[in-house]
């Protein structure tokens, strides 16, 4: 489960969202350039073992509004320290401009829906954390769509810790 998870909002540049029950992602250019990006960091144990498969689990939060359509996003490696309790748009950490991976958040069907982000890029990200682990951020590429995921706090509140973001590793 994450050590830190939160999101930043361009329209609320000094607000923190590290203790919210959800992680919000959206982009609305027609409403004052509203823009929200989740940040997630996992603590991993350095291992000599070779990672065979790495995937990130997210679960849509049924207690919040979710656009029904799919949403295309990019994952970017964060390059400096941050913590969820103090994270804002105005103090957001530096990150790689080039995305690691493009993925699709699936359609929303009215219930909590778990999905996985997979790919060799996720495995490469995890392997790089043996040197520096600052987590990643998710940036939406489409506008007028909004998705909410359970945060670790939201999963605890919902009584199902399996709703929390998770990093799942399989070793060779």
Give the mean model confidence (pLDDT) for residues 95-111: 87
For Cα atoms 35, 24, 139, give the angle at the middle one, nearest 5 degrees. Answer: 50
Check if the beta carbon of residue 152 is closer than 8 Å to that of residue 164: yes
Per-residue pLDDT tens over the stretch 115-164: 899 888 888 888 777 778 899 999 998 778 888 899 999 999 999 999 99
Phi, psi of 122 (to 5 degrees): -65, -45
Does position 79 have pLDDT exceeding 70, yes or no?
yes
Q: Cα(10)–Cα(31) distance, rounded to whole angstroms?
A: 11
pLDDT at 46: 67
Tell whether pTM > 0.75: yes
Q: Convert the chain into a string of H (helix), E (strand) and C (coil).
A: CEEEEEEEECCCCCCCCCCCCEEEEEEECCCCCEEEEEEEEECCCCCCCCEEEEEEEEEECCCCCCCCCCEEEEEEEECCCCCCCCCCCCCCCCECCCCCEEEEECCCCCCCCEEEEECHHHHHHHHHCCCCCCCEEEEECCCCEEEEEECHHHHHHHCCHHHCCEEEEEEC
pLDDT in tens, 50-72: 888 899 999 988 777 667 788 89
């Amino acid at each position: 489960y994450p050590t830190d998870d939160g999101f930043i909002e361009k329209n609320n540049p000094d607000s923190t969202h590290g203790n919210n029950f959800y992680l919000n992602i959206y982009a609305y250019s027609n409403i004052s350039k509203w823009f929200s990006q989740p940040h997630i960091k996992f603590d991993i144990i350095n291992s000599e073992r070779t990672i065979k498969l790495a995937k990130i689990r997210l679960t849509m939060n049924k207690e919040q509004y979710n656009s029904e359509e799919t949403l295309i996003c990019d994952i970017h490696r964060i390059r400096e320290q941050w913590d969820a309790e103090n994270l804002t748009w105005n103090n957001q950490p530096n990150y790689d401009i080039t995305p690691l991976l493009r993925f699709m958040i699936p359609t929303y069907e009215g219930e909590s829906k778990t999905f996985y982000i997979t790919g060799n890029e996720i495995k490469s990200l995890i392997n790089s954390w043996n040197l520096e682990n600052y987590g990643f951020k998710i940036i939406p590429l489409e506008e007028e769509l909004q998705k909410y995921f359970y945060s670790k706090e939201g999963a605890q509140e919902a009584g199902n810790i399996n709703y929390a973001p998770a990093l799942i590793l399989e070793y060779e």
